[in-house]
Amino acid sequence: MASVILVSCSKTNEVTESGSNSGNSGGGNTGCDTVNMKYAANVQPILAANCYDCHGNGSSESGVSLDSYSKVKQRVDNGQLLGVINHASGFPAMPYKRPKMSDCDINKIADWVARGAKND
């Protein structure tokens, strides 16, 4: 009696040896946790590192300030935050004259927005 074993693999769910999804960029092989992101712990540090030169700490280029939760939430509610960081059509690409944020950082912010953009 012969046995047959079939094995299949899909690249869409491929995980590298380090445990990160192979489709993520910006994190190399360090992995990118984008689940249950919180404003204070995850989103605010990304915004501080990428946006505060022009939109925080008292700066408000083009009338945009992102240095408080309420100001960030306004940009989330009108769709501008995800539009600008994703370089979506019809939105100015941010950060201005700098490289696009990593996919990992964008996905962290997108997870937080998708879960209601809470002040947590």
Per-residue pLDDT of 22-63, as tens digits, reads 344 444 456 899 999 999 999 999 999 999 999 998 889 999
- Contacts for 29 with CB less than 8 Å, ≥ 6 apart: 16, 17, 18, 20
Q: Please give the pLDDT value at position 30.
A: 66
* Two tokens, residue 54: 């022009």
How far, in Å, CA of 66 to CA of 12, rounded? 34
Q: Please give the pLDDT value at position 38.
A: 97
